[in-house]
Amino acid sequence: MKRQLELKVNGEDYSLTVEPHRTLLEVIRNDLGLTGTKLGCGGGECGACTVILDGKAVKSCLMLALDARGKEIWTIEGLSRVGDLHPLQRAFVERGAIQCGFCTPGMIMASKALLDENPHPSEQEIKDALAGNLCRCTGYVKILEAVLSMAKPD
Amino acid sequence: MERFELLEPNSLDEAFRLLSEYGDEARVYAGGTALVKLMKKRLVHPSYLVNIKGLKGLHYIREDEEGLKIGALATLREIETSPLVRQRLKVVGEMVHTIGSVQIRNVGTLAGNLCFADPASDPAPILIALGANLKIASSEGERILPVEKFFTDFYETALSQGEILEEIQIPFLPKDSGAVYLKHTMRVAFDLAVVGAAVKLDVNAKDDVCMSSKIVLGGVASTPVRVKKAEELLKGKVINDTLITKVAMAASTEVDPIQDVRASAEYRREMIEVFVERGLQKALERAKGGVL
Amino acid sequence: MIIEGEFHVTASIQQTWDFLTNIQKVASCVPSFEKVEVFDDKNFTITVSQKVGPFSATFETQTNFTEVTPPTRLVAFGKGKDTKMGSSFELTNQMDLIGVSEKETLVKYKADVKINGRLASVGQSLIKIVAKREVAQVIKLIQEKIGGQLSGKV
Amino acid sequence: MADEYSVIGKRLPRIDAMEKVTGTAKYLGDLTIPGMLYGKILRSPYAHAKILRVDTSKAERLQGVRGVVTGRDTKGIRLCVIPHLANKPPLAEEKVRFIGDEIAAVAADSEEIAEEALDLIEVEYEELPGVFDPFEAMKADAVKIHEGGNTAIHISRSYGDVEKAFGESDHIFEDRFETQAQPHCCMEPHGCIVHLDRSGSLTVWVTTQIPHPYRKMLADVLGMPLSKVRVIKVYMGGGFGGRFEMDPMEIIAYFLSKKTGRPIRIINTQDEQFTTGRTRYPMVIDIKTGVKKDGALLAREVKVVTDNGAYNSHGITITMGVGTKCTYLWGLPNVKYEADVVFTNKVYGGAFRGYGNPQITFAIESQMDMIAEKLGMDVKDLSLKNANYEGQLTCMGHKITSCGLKDCIDQAAEAVGWKEKRRKPGNRGVGMASLMHTGGGVRLLFGDCNLSDVFIKMNNDGTIDLASGMAEIGQGSDTALAQIAAEELGISIKDVNVITGDTWTTPQCLGAWGSREVFVAGNAVKMAAGEIRRKLFEEASRMLEARVDDLVAKERKVYVKGNPEKFVSIAQVATTCYNRGRILAGRGCYDDPTTYIPDSKTGYGGVPTYAFGTHAIEVEVDRKTGRVKVLNFVAAHDVGKVINPMMAEGQIEGGGLQGLGYALSEGLVWEEGIVLNPNFQDYRIFYINDVPRMKSVMVESIDPDGPYGAKGLGEPGLVPTAAAIANAIYDAVGVRIKSLPITPEKILRALKEKE
User: What are chain B's domains?
Assistant: 5-51 (3.30.43.10), 56-171 (3.30.465.10), 177-289 (3.30.390.50)
Is the pLDDT confidence value at D568 over 70?
yes
In a 10 Å sphere around its CB, with 0-12 CB exposed, 13-18 middle and 19+ buried, how is residue D578 labelled?
Answer: middle
A73 and A101: one domain?
no
Residues of D in contact with B281 (CB under 8 A): none
pLDDT at position D604 is: 58
The residues, any chain, with a CB within 8 Å of residue D132's CB and separated by 6 or more, are: D47, D344, D345, D346, D670, D672, D673
**From CA A47, how far away is CA A41, in angstroms rounded?**
8
How far is residue D691 CA from its own chain's centroid? 22
Contact D748 B189 (CB under 8 A): no
Q: How many Cα atoms within 13 Å fall on the side-chain side of residue D707? A: 33
Could you report the predicted ipTM of this complex, rounded to two decimals? 0.95
- Residue in chain D lying closest to C125 (CA): D676
Torsion from C-alpha of A144, A146, A150, A154, nearest 10 degrees:
110
Same domain as A134, residue A70: no
CA distance D499 to D465: 7
Shortest Cα–Cα distance, A42 to chain B (Å)? 8
DSSP state of A45: S
Are 3 or more Cβ–Cβ pairs between A and C shorter than 8 Å?
A: no
The helix (run of H) or strand (run of E) holding residue B249 is: helix B241-254
HSE (side-chain half, CA atoms, 13 Å) at D508 = 11
Using the Cβ of D62 and the Cβ atoms of chain C, whether some distance falls under 8 Å is answered with no
Question: Quick check: C154 pLDDT over 50?
Answer: no
Burial of B161 (0-12, 13-18, 19+ CB in 10 A): exposed
Per-residue b or e along B116-153, where b marks 16 or more CB atoms closer than 10 Å to that residue's CB: bbbbbbbbbbbbbbbbbbbbbbbeeeeeebebbebbee
Identify whether A34 is part of a domain: yes
Residue of B nearest to A106 (CA): B103
Query: Mean pLDDT over residues D662-684, rounded?
Result: 95
- Rounded CA separation D97/B157 (Å): 41
Judge whether residue D580 has pLDDT over 70: yes
pLDDT of residue D448: 84
Q: What's the total number of domains in chain A? A: 2
DSSP D521: I
Same-domain check for residues A64 and A128: no
Contact B200, B178 (CB under 8 A): yes
What pLDDT score was predicted for residue B205? 81
pLDDT for D156 equals 94
Q: For residue B3, which of D350, A3, C136, C99 has the smallest C-alpha distance?
A: A3
For chain D, say whether A72 makes contact (Cβ under 8 Å). Answer: no
Give residue D2's pLDDT: 46
Q: Can you name the residues that pair with A23 across neighbouring β-strands?
A: A64
Pick from A77, A101, A133: which residue ends a domain?
Answer: A77
Domain boundaries, chain D: 17-25+451-591, 31-128+187-238+243-276, 358-439+604-754
CATH superfamily of D31-128+187-238+243-276: Aldehyde oxidase/xanthine dehydrogenase, a/b hammerhead (3.90.1170.50)
CB contact under 8 A, B258 and C125: yes
Q: Judge whether residue D594 has pLDDT over 80.
A: no
E strands, A10-99, are 12-18, 50-53, 56-59, 72-74
Residue A51 domain-assigned (yes or no)? yes
R_g of chain B computed on alpha carbons: 19
Contact check, Cβ <8 Å, B103/A1: no
Check if B104 contacts A (Cβ < 8 Å).
yes
In a domain, A136, yes or no: yes
Residue A38 within any structural domain of the chain: yes
Please give the pLDDT value at position C122: 67
The full set of domains in chain C, from first to last, is: 2-150 (3.30.530.20)
Q: Is the pLDDT of residue D597 over 60?
A: no
Domain assignment present for residue A82? The answer is: no
Q: Which of B57, B35, B58 is nearest to B48 (CA)?
A: B35
Question: What is the per-residue pLDDT for A9?
Answer: 98
What confidence score (pLDDT) does residue D485 get? 98
In contact, A24 and A64? CB cutoff 8 Å: yes
Q: What backbone phi and psi angles, to 5 degrees, belong to D299?
A: -155, 155
Q: Which of D99, D119, D678 sits opposite C86 (nearest CB)?
A: D119
> Is residue D97 scored above 50 in pLDDT?
yes
Query: Quick one: A136 and A111 in the same domain?
Result: yes
One domain, residues A9 and A71: yes
Query: A115 and A64: one domain?
Result: no
Residue D602 has pLDDT above 70, yes or no: no
Q: Are residues A97 and A145 in the same domain?
A: yes
Neighbouring CB atoms inside 10 A of A11's CB total 9
Q: Kindly determine whether residue D676 and residue C124, on different chains, have CB atoms separated by under 8 Å.
A: yes
Shared domain for A7 and A67, answered yes or no, is yes
Residues A46, A72 share a domain: yes
Give the CATH number for residue A61: 3.10.20.30
- The pTM of this model reads 0.96
Q: How confident is the model at residue C87 (pLDDT cuts 50, 70, 90)?
A: confident
With CA atoms as reference, the chain C residue closest to B42 would be C85
Mean pLDDT of chain D: 96
Residues 238-257 on D with a CB inside 8 Å of B are: none
Instruction: Name the residue of chain A whose CA is nearest to B107's CA.
Output: A58
Q: Higher pLDDT residue, B152 or C26?
A: B152
Average pLDDT estimate for D288-292: 98
D205 and chain C in contact, CB less than 8 A:
no
Same domain, A67 and A95: no
Residue B185: Cβ within 10 Å count:
19
Does A53 map to a domain?
yes
Tens digits of residue pLDDT in D346-357: 999 999 999 999
Residues B152-190 have pLDDT tens digits of 999 999 999 899 999 999 999 999 999 999 999 999 988
Tell me the residue range of the domain where A97 lies.
87-151
**Which of A24, A50, A77 is at the close of a domain?**
A77
Domain boundary among A77, A108, A123: A77
In this structure, are strands B133-138 and B141-146 parallel, antiparallel, or unpaired? antiparallel
D297-309 and D334-343 strand pairing:
parallel
| Residue D139, Cβ density class (10 Å: 0-12 exposed, 13-18 middle, ≥19 buried) | exposed
Q: What percent of chain D has pLDDT over 70?
A: 98
Is 50 exceeded by the pLDDT of residue D293? yes
Q: Is the pLDDT of residue D613 over 80?
A: yes
Asked if residues D697 and D639 have their Cβ atoms less than 8 Å apart, the reply is: no
Alpha carbon of residue A128 to chain centroid: 16
The answer to whether D64 and C136 are in contact (CB under 8 A) is: no
Q: What is the Cα–Cα distance from B255 to B269, expressed in whole angstroms?
A: 8
* Pairwise pLDDT comparison (C150 vs D136), residue with the higher score: D136
Fold match between D17-25+451-591 and D31-128+187-238+243-276? no
CA dihedral over C25, C31, C32, C34, signed as positive or negative: positive
Helix, strand, coil share of chain C (percent; to 5): 30, 50, 20
pLDDT score of D414 more than 60: yes
- Mean pLDDT across the stretch D280-302? 98
Q: How far apart are CA D52 and CA C53, in angstroms?
A: 36
Query: How confident is the model over B218-249, as pLDDT tens digits?
Result: 999 999 999 999 999 999 999 999 999 999 99
The CA distances from residue D729 to D362, D370, D726, in Å, are 14, 13, 5
| Least Cα separation, residue C45 to chain D (angstroms) | 18
For the domain with range D17-25+451-591, which CATH number is right: 3.30.365.10, 1.10.3300.10, 3.30.360.10, 1.20.1560.10? 3.30.365.10
Whether omega before D741 lies within 30 degrees of 0, making that bond cis, reads: yes
Helices (H), D301-404: 315-328, 357-375, 379-386
Using an 8 Å Cβ cutoff, are D77 and D91 in contact? Answer: no
What residues of A are in contact with residue B5 (Cβ under 8 Å)?
1, 20
Position A103 in a domain: yes
Closest residue to B100, CB basis, from A63, A114, A132? A132
* CB-CB contact of C89 with C119 (8 Å): no
Chain A closest-CA separation from residue B49 CA (Å) = 9
Separation CA B190–CA B102 (nearest Å): 10
Identify the architecture of domain D358-439+604-754 in CATH.
2-Layer Sandwich (3.30)
CATH number at A125 reads: 1.10.150.120
* Dist. CA B195–CA B217, nearest whole Å: 7
